[in-house]
Structure 1
Amino acid sequence: MITSKTQMVGLLGHPVSHSQSPAMQNRAFAEKGLPYAYAAFDVAEENLPDAVAGIRALGLKGVNVTIPHKVAIMPLLDEIDPLAKRIGAVNTVVNDNGRLIGYNTDGMGYVRSLVEETGIDLKQQVVTMLGAGGAARAVAFTLAEHGVKHIHIINRSREKAALLAEHVSAIAPTQAIEHAEGREAIAASTLLINTTSIGMYPNVEDMPVPAEWLHSAMVVSDLIYNPLETRLLREARNRGARVHSGVGMFVNQGALAFELWTKEPAPSDLMRSVVLEQLRNNG
């Protein structure tokens, strides 16, 4: 029940009508008996400064930040967590008595999910990553900080991949490669990660790489969570590879945000069941 003591949190993005976050976070707050409520705010790019001023003026406890604001919000905040600064994007803001602090829980949410669901030892992984956007940056920096052996990055824009590789290589060996070199890189990889939107609903038959490049001696991970099993994961499973979907990353990044706002452990299992229920019902 919302009362005069309820603390508001929410989501800033454009569009946001598809977001699973309100259902997930509000069920989590109710489960823990916390006086919080979560709403989605559709904020056009030109209105972002006013929205951030509104966080302060209205005393929101914090927000999640999604496309297209993850980079643009950074200069509007008072402080950026070191990991978010290295990633170059913020997906969670905490209002600490009027001081707005930016964090990035995407990478840690991904790594937590990957390790929990597959049991792999990150220090033994040779990684090929598809994409070089904001999600790729979060995943690449976090994997590098966890000591993976090597990261290859394949992206439509070679320049964007090269820039990301240059930044990440300060932490772990990383290189950008051409799509034509992808088959060889994937053959030598133990972990393949799709950070692109290729295969996302409604284009569910699209593949970011040819199916014949996949092999059984690897984990194939897709950040997409709608559909729950992308064609990439289905083809990988058919070839004997272990697979990892994007639901865990989404849930865990939200759980980490929950913990930053409330200082309480998040009910991650419940949050996951809510998201799965929503996706199965609404597709």
Structure 2
Amino acid sequence: MKKLFGVIGDPISHSMSPAMHNDLFQAYGIDAHYQPFHVKKENLGDAIRGFRAIGLSGFNVTVPHKEAIIPLLDELDPMANAIGAVNTVVNHNGRLKGFNTDGSGYVKGLLEEISTLKDKKVLIVGAGGAARAIYFTMAKEGPPVLDICNRTVSKADLIMKDCPYTVPTRAFDIQEAEGNIEAYDLIVQTTPIGMLPDIQKSPLSIHNLKSGTFVSDIIYNPLETQLLREARKKGAGTQNGLDMFVHQGALAFENWTGIAPDIKRMRDKVLKQLGGLLC
């Protein structure tokens, strides 16, 4: 019997997960299908009950459900529990277990570009589920500075308070971070601002960005956000969210199937799908 997997979010039409995972199922001879599900906040509980009823084998979770889904699950992986956000769910004989592969997937992709965090003063933009996962994972790597800026500073404070790893850190609002942007070697943008269809938006001004800074945006659709475009023009190194997307997807696929998939195949598939969307 064909197994069913999926991804839930709002919006969800931008997701490349179906193309990537369905290609992997075909490549590894797995009788399964991966389906996107557009689920609004007020319908999340109904959606999860429906998934249980039809025996969905597993699914990914994207904005805005990564934190809200936790009370609806039966069990959490220790890292997902510490982070307080879930992006992957596995159905173990009717019990739904939540995992978080965002942080580890992000850092794996980042270190392919910059090799180490030990000498980087880092600013994380945003304080949602993805930011929390990335902050915890990066804190474990021991950068000399790991600050957070967010419109609501209290949310950034909570991430710092809950992190199990000690690292020099401060929380700012967006305006204060903009005024001190030249102090950082690495800027990590974790909000959905700049994602299709609102590609002209940027989460913060980088007018004072120093040349040589590395700017990473976890958005992958479009492949170059307004923030990355501005950073590139200022002489910064840039990275979009494709590497994070592929690596976290590979970890999710392994949780579902026990197979560590071909990263290059995954990357090539997503790039092919996104080829006409590069801005």
Q: Would you say same fold, with TM above 0.5?
A: yes
1:35-184 matched pairs, under 5 angstroms: 35-116=31-112, 118-168=113-163, 170-183=165-178
Mapped contact 2:80–2:86 kept (Cα < 8 A)? yes
Mapped contact 1:131–1:196 kept (Cα < 8 A)? yes
1:205-216 matched pairs, under 5 angstroms: 205-216=200-211
TM-score calculated relative to the size of structure 1: 0.89
Please report how far the alpha carbon of residue 68 of structure 1 lies from its aligned counterpart in structure 2 after TM superposition.
2.6
Please report how far the alpha carbon of residue 156 of structure 1 lies from its aligned counterpart in structure 2 after TM superposition.
1.2
Q: Larger deviation: 36-45 or 139-148?
A: 36-45
Mapped contact 1:169–1:175 kept (Cα < 8 A)? no
Aligned partners of 2:187, 2:262: CA distance in 1, in Å? Answer: 29
Aligned partners of 1:203, 1:50: CA distance in 2, in Å? Answer: 29
Specify whether residues 150 and 169 from structure 1 end up closer, same or farther in structure 2 by C-alpha distance, changes over 3 A only. farther
Secondary structure, in 3 states, of the residue corresponding to 1:122? coil
Specify whether residues 13 and 212 from structure 1 end up closer, same or farther in structure 2 by C-alpha distance, changes over 3 A only. closer
Please report how far the alpha carbon of residue 180 of structure 1 lies from its aligned counterpart in structure 2 after TM superposition.
4.2
Secondary structure, in 3 states, of the residue corresponding to 2:170? strand
> Percent same amino acid at aligned positions?
50
**Partner amino acid for 2:106?**
Y
Mapped contact 1:166–1:174 kept (Cα < 8 A)? no
Please report how far the alpha carbon of residue 161 of structure 1 lies from its aligned counterpart in structure 2 after TM superposition.
2.1
Mapped contact 1:215–1:236 kept (Cα < 8 A)? no
TM-score calculated relative to the size of structure 2: 0.90
Specify whether residues 16 and 234 from structure 1 end up closer, same or farther in structure 2 by C-alpha distance, changes over 3 A only. closer
**Partner amino acid for 2:3?**
Q
1:27 aligned to which of 23, 26, 30: 23
Q: Larger deviation: 194-203 or 73-82?
A: 194-203
The C-alpha deviation readout for 1:102-143, integer Å capped at 9, x for no partner, is 001111111111112x13212222111111122211111111
Mapped contact 1:219–1:243 kept (Cα < 8 A)? yes
Pairs aligned (count): 278
Please report how far the alpha carbon of residue 183 of structure 1 lies from its aligned counterpart in structure 2 after TM superposition.
4.7
Specify whether residues 210 and 12 from structure 1 end up closer, same or farther in structure 2 by C-alpha distance, changes over 3 A only. closer
Q: Give ranges in structure 2 of 5+ residues lacking alignment.
A: none
Secondary structure, in 3 states, of the residue corresponding to 1:162? helix
Aligned partners of 2:136, 2:128: CA distance in 1, in Å? Answer: 12
Q: Give ranges in structure 1 of 5+ residues lacking alignment.
A: none
**Partner amino acid for 1:244?**
Q
Please report how far the alpha carbon of residue 253 of structure 1 lies from its aligned counterpart in structure 2 after TM superposition.
1.5
Please report how far the alpha carbon of residue 34 of structure 1 lies from its aligned counterpart in structure 2 after TM superposition.
1.7
1:195 maps to 2:190: yes
Secondary structure, in 3 states, of the residue corresponding to 1:211? coil
Aligned partners of 1:217, 1:17: CA distance in 2, in Å? Answer: 35
